[in-house]
Amino acid sequence: MRWHPKGYGGHRRDPDQVKREGWREQGLLAVSLEDARLTWPERELVRQLGEKLYGPRPSDEGGRHG
């Protein structure tokens, strides 16, 4: 028989459930730029917010192509 301390073991929530509960309970939003549910303007808005709050991503520092 295995014994697990309270909070360890049992059911693991899937990542989308964790994100959903974070948004509903704490107002936190975790968004991937690669999320296929977002349109291009929505992904661009997320990218701009991320850069404003946290600076450019290491892969973006070399400048843009396009």
pLDDT tens track for 11-63:
888 999 999 999 999 999 999 999 999 999 999 999 999 999 999 999 766 65
| 23, 29 contact by CB (below 8 A) | yes
The pLDDT score that the predictor gives to residue 12 is: 85
Q: Kind and range of the H or E element at 45?
A: helix 40-54
Whether 36 is covered by a domain: the verdict is yes
Whether 42 is covered by a domain: the verdict is yes
Number of domains in the chain: 1
Whether 15 is covered by a domain: the verdict is no
Whether 12 is covered by a domain: the verdict is no
Whether 41 is covered by a domain: the verdict is yes
What domain range includes position 38?
32-58
Whether 53 is covered by a domain: the verdict is yes
Whether 8 is covered by a domain: the verdict is no
Whether 39 is covered by a domain: the verdict is yes
